[in-house]
Amino acid sequence: MNEAIEFENLQRLKEGILAIPKSEVLIFGQMSLMLNASVVKILNLIQTGDMDAKLQMDYFTKIKLLDFLEKNGLVYDEDSHLVWIPENAKVIEFILEDNFE
Amino acid sequence: MNKNALIKKINKLAQQDKKRRLDPRYLKVMGFLVAKGFLYTNTKIPLNPNEHINLKEAIWAGRFVEPRILEVLPAAYERFKKHFSGDADTIEKLEQIIDGIKRKNNHKIEFYGISIEKIMPWFFIQLRDKRSKPFDKRKVSKTFRFKPETVDILKSLKEQSGQSETEILENLIADAKSM
């Protein structure tokens, strides 16, 4: 995805269009537990292909993300904004790319 | 209930849950659903993509151990019917869900307390084996009667383009739609 955005940005640069801004994916729910090594050590987890997340990204990037998830048997939950996040919840940086975090 | 009694009750339930997660009925259905790509787990369980699943056992595992099993079970049944067997009532219930999704008429359908909104997405996901097509990407058989010269043209287009006859017709229809 990072490469696809870089390629798109090159095209946009040539055409004098604004580049795609950096995207942020904040994963919640079961998938966030699955990605947390310290939680995985102590809990037996099971999940469906449902991804709850807060997405801050350009429409181009979102389409690429949804396509990537679909190809991998996963589904983005469009109701993710309804997920309750406790006040003392911590954000752990997981992926840091030029176009993503 | 005081604090100690509550802790005692929680511990008892945790022990019961631990025991149930070793039950062959649970391991069998989980081994199948994880192998097919409907569920993911961080624990090692024996994968059984070719397993035969008894629906009664799968429903037990869903009701008493892991509710996510009930969430994906109707889709798993629809995609891999030959792997499942069960009583007439359960099969009828599952067929009603499938029919409701096909007709996009999902009012008040639920499966052991799981709403249709939770059940539906798994009918449309891409599975690991790539052989089982999602609900909305399956080809539908349709018969037409063409004039012989139309058939000749279609064959010649097939040879020229390297596409199948179906692909040629689908592209023509897509072009006609976009005009």
CA distance B108 to B116: 8
Strands B40-41 and A50-51: unpaired
> What is the SS3 assignment for B16?
helix
pLDDT for B27-85, tens place per residue?
A: 999 999 999 999 999 988 999 999 999 999 999 999 999 999 999 999 999 999 999 99
| B122-154 residue pLDDT tens | 999 988 776 777 777 777 778 889 999 999 999
- Distance from the A13 Cα atom to the nearest Cα atom in chain B, whole angstroms: 30
**More confident of the two residues B8 and A100:** B8
Largest CA distance in chain A: 51
Which residues of chain A have a Cβ shorter than 8 Å from any chain B Cβ? 34, 40, 43-50, 70-75
Residue B178 banded pLDDT, cuts 50, 70, 90: confident
| Residue to test with chain A: of B18, B33, B38, B42, most A Cβ within 10 A | B42
| A71 chain-B contacts, CB cut-off 8 A | 126
Query: Is A53 domain-assigned?
Result: yes
Residue A42 lies in a domain: yes
Helix (H, G, I), strand (E, B) or coil at A56: strand
Residues of A in contact with B124 (CB under 8 A): 75
Tracing tokens 């889709």 back to the chain, one arrives at B75
What does the domain layout of chain B look like in residue ranges? 3-136, 148-178
Q: How many residues does chain A have?
A: 101
B38-74 burial, b if ≥16 CB within 10 A, otherwise e?
A: bbbbeeebeebeebebbbebbbbbbeebbebbbbbbb
Q: State the nearest Cα–Cα gap between A34 and chain B, in angstroms.
A: 7
What pTM, to 2 d.p., does this model score? 0.78
Task: Give the residue numbers spanning the domain of A71.
Answer: 23-101
Q: Which residues pair with B111 in a beta bridge?
A: B114
Residue A98 resides in a domain: yes
User: Are the Cβ atoms of A73 and B127 closer than 8 angstroms?
Assistant: yes
Domains identified in chain A, total number: 1
Res B106: pLDDT: 65
Helices within chain B (DSSP H only): 3-20, 24-36, 55-64, 68-79, 88-102, 116-119, 148-161, 165-178
Q: Looking at the domain assignment, is residue A2 inside a domain?
A: no
